[in-house]
Amino acid sequence: MGLHPRTLSATALLSAEQCMAKFKAAHVEHVPQINNKAAMIGSSCHGALEWFVSGAVVNKFIKWEFKELVNFYQMYYMRVFGAPDYSTPEYDDGFQMLERWFWRNEETQYVDVISTEKKETFNIKRMDGTDDRVPFNYIIDRLDKMGPGRYRVVDYKTVRGRVSPEDLHAKIQARMYALAIQLKYPDAQEIEVMFDLLRFDTVSTLFTKDDNKNTWKYLMAMVKKIHETDEVHTPETLNVDCRYCPRKAVCKTLQRNISGGGIYAIDDLDELAALHYRLDAQLKAAKILMGEVDTQLLAAAQKENEYDLFTEHYEVDIVSSKRRRIDHGRAAKVLGEAIARQYDRIGITDVDKLIRGNEITEQQKMQLKSLVNFEYGEPRIVVKPTVPLTIAT
């Protein structure tokens, strides 16, 4: 019998990808988890931003002033932390993030904001042979209408790490936001998902209808995987979030890793930091030593005037990357102004296409070929054993 969650969400899908046993504990059995201070600061900031944007932009019953944002922050901070103590490091942390957000978001007061902190649902068919539906829940911090067929999802994040647009495009949460908006607004041609990193700045990525179709296929595949997972013998998988798992105390796979001296045996952050420091120093020293060894091998190869050296146990190859390049200025002259102006800068890929195509004459093709030359990278050493390593040691 498979797993049957009452609801699904982007967080649940991420858990299922990481470890089905974790997914079962957190999203099927709903094992309680302890809230930490970082999450509490995040909740305080989210609440403040929701009410401030709603009041100053959507309903316009307050002015766009920082003191109004602070009032909402203090209200939510007291509600989340249970005490009106505004002298704590946690309060200062949230205050600084909101202050940074306010002064770099003045244009937000002129945006067409559709909703703030709105929890919504769309239903998906179960993949277990029944006609039942499972609700997929999502909460969008802010939804903006950017123009005809153009929407923007804004998600406030208090994380301490940066995110690249490429990483954001691959994130389950961002993809599910875009899919949800596509389902709700079929007219959407382009959906921007923006993570507003309150400690840094914003990062955005765009999703098209084709992107959202692929996300839907992914969602169906994950639902099928969840429903086909053995409810009794649910597989355990080690992952980077094991230390935050609600069932870490009873996870046999995690305990075997700890007993065997694996990385999860280190539960103290100071020890992890110390290990990182030592490994980093060792890597730097090894890199310097490798450079010195390579210098000696290169000198030996030059003395022998050979690119391949053979020792008693190893083959030492001197290799260098080779890349074709072309002088784009001279290539432009060969092609003439009418063709050259179609390109910002004529590269080797453009030249290959022109040579294969019918746009230029055979004489021009010959001239382009003559302009192609090679650029070589720095030589590097590749060592391969010629006999079993046990003999060479």
Per-residue pLDDT band at 53 (split at 50, 70, 90): very high
Q: With 50 as the cut, is the pLDDT of residue 392 above it?
A: no
- Looking at the fold, whether 97 and 155 belong to one and the same domain comes out as yes
Using pLDDT thresholds of 50, 70 and 90, give the confidence band for residue 67.
very high
Task: State the helix-helix crossing angle for 328-335 and 362-371, rounded to 10 degrees.
Answer: 170
DSSP for 136-205, please give it.
EEEEEEEEEEEETTEEEEEEEE--SS---HHHHHH-HHHHHHHHHHHHH-TT-SEEEEEEEETTS-EEEE
Structural domains of the chain, count: 3
More confident residue, 269 or 124: 124
Residue 99 is part of a domain; what is its CATH number?
3.90.320
Task: Identify whether 42 is part of a domain.
Answer: yes
Do 303 and 342 belong together in one domain? no
Q: Are residues 25 and 87 in the same domain?
A: yes
For residues 277 and 180, membership in a common domain is answered with no
Residue type at position 50: E
Task: Say if residue 141 is in the same domain as residue 201.
Answer: yes
Boundary of a domain, candidates 213, 228, 243:
228
> Are both 326 and 304 inside the same structural domain?
no
Bigger pLDDT: 70 or 278?
70
Is residue 251, in this structure, part of any structural domain at all? no
Range of the structural domain that residue 367 is part of: 322-376
End-of-domain residue from the set 195, 210, 228? 228
Q: How many helices (H) and strands (E) does the chain have?
A: 15, 10
Mean pLDDT of 332-357: 85
How far apart CA 100 and CA 85 sit, in angstroms, is 22
pLDDT tops 80 at residue 184 = yes
Q: Same domain for 335 and 193?
A: no
Is residue 181's pLDDT more than 90?
Answer: yes
Residues 146 and 194 in one domain: yes
pLDDT per position as a tens digit, 224-237: 898 888 888 888 88
The C-alpha atoms of residue 154 and residue 303 are separated, in whole angstroms, by 63
Please tell me whether residues 338 and 283 are part of one structural domain.
no
In a domain, 27, yes or no: yes
Average pLDDT of the residues of the chain = 86
Q: Is the pTM of this model over 0.75?
A: no
Residue 308 — left, alpha, or beta (φ > 0 → left; ψ -120 to 50 → alpha)?
beta
Question: For residue 97, what pLDDT band results from cuts at 50, 70 and 90?
Answer: very high
Question: What strand order describes the sheet that includes 202-207?
Answer: 112-125, 133-147, 150-157, 190-197, 202-207
**How much is the pLDDT for 143?**
93
Q: Given pLDDT bands bounded at 50, 70 and 90, which one contains residue 391?
A: very low
Residue 259 lies in a domain: no
Of 54, 48, 55, residue with least CA distance to 71: 48
Tell me the mean pLDDT in the region 27-51: 87
Out of 197, 228, 259, pick the residue that ends a domain: 228
> Does 159 lie in the same domain as 82?
yes
pLDDT of residue 139: 92
Verify that 280 and 356 share a domain, yes or no: no
Are residue 82 and residue 172 in the same domain, yes or no?
A: yes
Q: Indicate whether 83 belongs to any domain.
A: yes
Note whether residue 53 is domain-resident: yes
In a domain, 4, yes or no: no
Residue with tokens 């993030």: 97
